[in-house]
Amino acid sequence: MALVWDYGERTGLKGWKGLSWGMVPLLGGAMCACTWHFFYNSESLEVLVALQGALTVIGAKAPVLHLEMLLACGFIMLTLNQDHTLPAVAGWMRLRLRRREIIRRSEGAEMAMVNLKLYLENRCILAENERLREKASALRRENLALRADLCKTSAPAVLPAAGAAAASTR
């Protein structure tokens, strides 16, 4: 607000001071919020919440409307140069946008490289899992074969009768 007011005084254009006055409702809305929170959101001060909302809406609209008025009155001039080109600022903005695009592309390239590394790492992990699965299957087949051989070579175990076990313990 102070910068806008100061600009209005330095240029002698009083319309800019009006823009500063248009910002006062925003400041009032902020003060309502601070006051309400300062008193620990007291229910007796809930009217401040509604006031804050109203002042925020008014404060958001007032500077925009005042700037439109300044444009209409000629205090702000948005015109092209004599040769119908954009002002010098446009070249600077174009350069800035180009730099931003280059940075965005380089960040995209870095992200693509990270994604590629992660993809290759996942492929290695999947290959290792497949190798371990094949090894586990081979070990299982070997265990089953050994068990079958063990069953063929060992003599069948003779279990004592249920009554005989009870008689031997007496």
Percent of the chain with pLDDT over 70: 78
User: What integer is the mean pLDDT of 40-47?
Assistant: 78
| Predicted local confidence at residue 163, as pLDDT | 61
Q: pLDDT digit string (tens) for 56-89?
A: 888 778 777 777 777 776 656 555 445 555 555 6
Conformation bin of residue 82: beta by default, left when phi > 0, alpha when psi is -120 to 50: alpha
Q: Could you give phi then psi for residue 14, rounded to 5 degrees?
A: -70, -20
Q: pLDDT digit string (tens) for 142-166?
A: 999 999 998 888 766 666 666 655 5
More confident residue, 165 or 45: 45
Q: Is 55 exposed, middle or buried (0-12, 13-18, 19+ CB in 10 A)?
A: buried
Q: For residue 22, is pLDDT > 60? A: yes
More confident residue, 80 or 23: 23
* Choice among 2-16, 105-119, 133-147 with the minimum mean pLDDT: 2-16
| Predicted local confidence at residue 60, as pLDDT | 78
For the chain, the maximum distance between any two Cα atoms, rounded to a whole number of angstroms, is: 124
